[in-house]
Amino acid sequence: MTAALADFFRAFADFSLAPYAPRYDAMTRAAADNAEVMALLAAAPPDTHSPNNLQAAAHYLLLSGVDHPLAAAYEPEFDGDPGPAFCDLLLGHADAVAELLATRVVQTNEVNRTAVIAPLVNWIGATTESPLALIDLGCSAGLNLLFDRYRITIGDASLGPADAGLCLSAENRGGPVETAPAQIGWRRGVDRNPIDATDPDQARWLEALVWPDHPDRLARLRAAIDELRNDPPPLVRADALAGLESALADAPGDLLAVVLTSWVVYYFGDDLRHDFEAALLGAARPTAWLAMEMAGVVPDVDTPPPPDGAGEMSAMTLVTGGADRPVERRFLGWTHPHGAWIDLVV
């Protein structure tokens, strides 16, 4: 069991980490080489057997005030090997780590995705006279629902209030950027496990999920949480299908219902993907589904080959239907999975 876990950790590091996240890579490999750490994880519930859970548990303890040399690895200027300190912290706080592994769910909310979602919500808004009902399905803490409260720079275009507390940016690799703000008449986040970021402990767990290599992501996340606390969006705990159906029923009928998913449908099984799309397109009201997902997740979209050498990316897709309208599926462009760049074809 522990040998298989160690192999999984090394494969994860090979595929997903170095050189994108060298500190987390070193921590993951050190954990794989440490039989006691592997045994600690093997004793936890099986769905926690990943490097993400261990990294988050260690980071959470540091953010909770545990004084340990591993804290240096989360500082921007760190230049060393965090592996030994990572294992030392985990084994020195084994009971607390086991408790976190048993009770917490790995669930991120990447607010920089908003930088590539916002211009497309604006673009949808520009196609209709009515304001939008925005439903962020799989919203996590709901940070992306607040897209119009952030200042966003995409190439030489700017969106959102100039005095916003959080500034986001994306490189523009192609296509026009719609800067005129969409009118949002109603909004709701839905998640099977919504995070209440106004609760300091839940916010700390969200922060703990950020890898040590990305202090800029942590700073963005904290600024977004501060913004959310000023006026939190309504979040509903529900599974995807029930949450979609109730949001479509509750949103005012004169608004165009725009359902946003960002790296969510990717987690659905085939049956749920089918039922989700059928509920959306068969709704009694006009609906639009803006998907930021791995290519192929939204069925039957004519998606071109991805640009050479761009690495991992998200396909942006719009599917419209509902109210007996003919179904239309459009590929809108490619983006970086965390919103670092956008390359639109619309």
**Residue ranges binding ligand SAM (CB under 6 A):** 107-110, 113, 138-140, 144, 191-193, 239-240, 262-264, 267-268
Cβ closer to ligand SAM: 123 or 147?
147
**Residue 129 Cβ vs ligand SAM, minimum distance, rounded to whole Å:** 28
**Residue 241 Cβ vs ligand SAM, minimum distance, rounded to whole Å:** 8
**Residue 316 Cβ vs ligand SAM, minimum distance, rounded to whole Å:** 13
State how far the Cα of 308 lies from the Cα of 302, in Å rounded to an integer: 18
Q: For the beta carbon of residue 153, count every other beta carbon within 10 angstroms.
A: 17
Cβ closer to ligand SAM: 138 or 286?
138
Torsion of CA 60, 63, 69, 70, to 10 degrees: 40
b/e code 5-22 from CB counts within 10 Å (16+ = b): bbeebeebbeeebeeebe
The contacts of residue 319 (CB under 8 Å, 6+ apart) are 277, 280, 281, 288, 289, 291, 298, 301, 327, 328, 329, 330
**Can the peptide bond before residue 181 be classed as cis, meaning omega within 30 degrees of 0?**
no
**Residue 346 Cβ vs ligand SAM, minimum distance, rounded to whole Å:** 21
**Residue 289 Cβ vs ligand SAM, minimum distance, rounded to whole Å:** 14
Cβ closer to ligand SAM: 110 or 207?
110
Say how far residue 241 (Cα) sits from the centre of its chain: 19
Cβ closer to ligand SAM: 139 or 283?
139
The contacts of residue 47 (CB under 8 Å, 6+ apart) are none
Residue 218 φ/ψ, nearest 5 degrees: -65, -40
**Residue 114 Cβ vs ligand SAM, minimum distance, rounded to whole Å:** 9
Torsion of CA 64, 65, 68, 71, to 10 degrees: 70
Give all strands of the β-sheet with 157-159 in edge-to-edge order.
Answer: 157-159, 151-154, 167-174, 341-344, 328-335, 314-321, 287-293, 256-262, 132-137, 184-191, 235-237
Q: For the beta carbon of residue 229, count every other beta carbon within 10 angstroms.
A: 12
Closest CA to 277 of 263, 261, 294, 262: 261
**Residue 215 Cβ vs ligand SAM, minimum distance, rounded to whole Å:** 18
Cβ closer to ligand SAM: 27 or 240?
240
Cβ closer to ligand SAM: 12 or 263?
263
**Residue 109 Cβ vs ligand SAM, minimum distance, rounded to whole Å:** 4
Cβ closer to ligand SAM: 2 or 246?
246
**Residue 314 Cβ vs ligand SAM, minimum distance, rounded to whole Å:** 10
139, 189 Cβ separation under 8 angstroms: yes
The CB-nearest residue to ligand SAM is 138
Cβ closer to ligand SAM: 2 or 169?
169
Cβ closer to ligand SAM: 89 or 137?
137
**Both tokens assigned to 155:** 């190439």
State how far the Cα of 324 lies from the Cα of 229, in Å rounded to an integer: 40
Length of the chain: 346
